[in-house]
Amino acid sequence: MPSPLWSYVTPGIPDDLFERLPGIPMSPREVRLLLISALRLKVDSVLWDIGAGTGTIPVEAGLLCPQGRIVAIERDEEVASLIRRNCDRFGVTNVEIIEGSAPECLANLSHPPQRVCIEGGRSIKAILKEVWRHLEPKGRIVATAASLEGLYQVSESFAELQVRNIEVVQSAVNRLEKRGTNQTFAAIDPIFVLSGEKLD
């Protein structure tokens, strides 16, 4: 049963419900919704989330895929612990947390993915190449890029791997915030979301 913190079937858990650590990245709710939409999850999907950070995608996916298996990959032990705590906060029990660096740790994972989410990474091209070897036919891959250089690297890798049905979306989101006695719109950092399929 989902925790009372989030008992809805709709994704998009408010950011302030997650436990956070200073300096650890977290996908804002609006960006998370784009990623989840691009993943096209099924109730029994096997999802690898590489660079899981605060654990927002594993939590959301774990709730959306009750019969699925979510593998959260994070190299930092303290951050992996944070993901565990956030899973506990929302009563998510189908998330496996792997402490390791991608792409090296990916070869040892026992469940090949049907869906993969990659949120940045210093070795993005090497990660994409290794992920592609494991991704099941008709699987989907979603990757983010926060800069033009990152966008170029992911796009180039998608072309080399012959990813099909590619979609690219750039987020442009503003939130209404109260500052003193006034309300103003504050921009969330834009990000590119690239997705595509492995046909065979």
Average pLDDT of the residues in 193-198: 98
Question: Per 3-state DSSP, what percentage of the chain is helix, strand, and coil (rounded to 5)?
Answer: 35, 30, 40
Q: Tens of pLDDT along 70-107? A: 999 999 999 999 999 999 999 999 999 999 999 999 99
State whether residue 85 is helix, strand or coil: helix
Q: Could you report the per-residue pLDDT of 144-167, keeping only the tens digit for each?
A: 999 999 999 999 999 999 999 999
Q: Judge whether 113 and 46 are in contact, CB under 8 Å.
A: yes
**Residue at 127: amino acid letter:** I
DSSP character for 190?
Answer: P
Question: Does the pLDDT at position 180 exceed 90?
Answer: no
**Distance (Å, whole) CA 164 – CA 176:** 37
Question: What does the pLDDT average to over 188-195?
Answer: 92
Confidence of residue 2 (pLDDT cuts 50, 70, 90): very low
pLDDT in tens, 27-85: 999 999 999 999 999 999 999 999 999 999 999 999 999 999 999 999 999 999 999 99
Report the C-alpha gap between 7 and 54 in whole angstroms: 20
pLDDT exceeds 80 at position 1: no
Phi, psi of 123 (to 5 degrees): -115, 50
Supply φ then ψ for residue 188, to 5 degrees: -90, 135
Q: How many helices (H) and strands (E) does the chain have?
A: 5, 9
CATH architecture assignment, domain 15-198 = 3-Layer(aba) Sandwich (3.40)
